[in-house]
Amino acid sequence: MKINTATFVISNTDVSKCPAEKIPEYAFIGRSNVGKSSLINMLTNHKKLAKTSGKPGKTQLINHFKINDEWFLVDLPGYGYAQVSKSKRKTFQSFIKDYFLQREQLVCTFVLVDSRHEPQKIDLEFMQFLGENGIPFAIIFTKADKLGNSALNKNFTKYKKQLLKTWESVPTHFITSSESAMGKEDVLKFIEQINTDVAEDFIK
């Protein structure tokens, strides 16, 4: 799929104030610093559409970006970031949860996990939360450029094994790098397919 336009629409902490427009929406979630904002920039061919930082905790709001005037990408704050104050973390958690439970336009969530790390409890629990609430998701392994092929394969095999303890089959997944644009076409193709599949549900 070709990205012709990608524009920032609005940031907020209140799901009821998110854009009212009924178009398909894709959310990016995962631990702070995993590369959510960078991935949005990579997919849309922008350097600075979503704000990124080497320090965790950069994205603190629900950010809507409109793509090709037809669908939204949503950049969210990271979960599980210890340096954010406890009260802030609680606020994050409640508005992120509200977003996932209430946003009707949400057609798929991308759960980002760092390719370099062992499966983390917080990510597995979040996938469980999505599953229990009937929210479709796919997994995106990020920062693949930081690993060689054999380490990547080893980690990926381990992750799949862990997932099969909970899920009947390994959920849809992509291996990506925002540095090298690895996985870009596959993720965009996946989104394009969902856009086609759900088109009837979004007739104005």
- The footprint of Mg ion on residues 33-72 (CB under 5 A) is 36-37, 58-59
**Phi-psi category of residue 139: left, alpha or beta, with phi > 0 → left and psi -120 to 50 → alpha:** beta
Q: Round to whole Å and give the CA distance between 73 and 40.
A: 8
Is residue 47 within the footprint of ligand GTP (CB under 6 A)?
no
Listed residue (171, 144, 176, 147) closest to 159, CA to CA:
171
* Contacts with ligand GTP, 114-153, as mask; x by CB under 6 A: ----------------------------xx-xx-------
Cβ burial, residue 129 (10 Å; 0-12/13-18/19+)? middle
Strands 106-114 and 137-142: parallel
Chain residues 147-186 in contact with ligand GTP, contact rule CB under 6 A: 177-179
- C-beta closer to ligand GTP: residue 98 or 145: 145
Q: State which of residues 8, 13, 23, 56 lies at the interface with ligand GTP (CB under 6 A).
A: 56
Stretch that binds Mg ion, among 32-40, 117-125, 133-141, 146-154 (CB under 5 A): 32-40
Distances (CA, A) of 79 to 48, 182, 191: 22, 25, 24
Q: How far apart are CA 75 and CA 77, in angstroms?
A: 7
Least CB distance to ligand GTP at residue 175 (A):
10
How many chain residues interact with ligand GTP (CB under 6 A)? Answer: 23
Q: Which of 24, 25, 32, 174 binds ligand GTP (CB under 6 A)?
A: 32
C-beta closer to Mg ion: residue 57 or 131? 57
Residues 188, 179: Cα–Cα separation, whole Å: 16
We find the least distance from the C-beta atom of residue 107 to ligand GTP, in angstroms, to be 21
Angle between helix 184-198 and helix 36-44 axes, rounded to 10 deg:
80
> Which residues sit at the interface with ligand GTP, rule CB under 6 A?
32-38, 52-54, 56-59, 77-78, 142-143, 145-146, 177-179
Residues that bind Mg ion (CB under 5 A): 36-37, 58-59
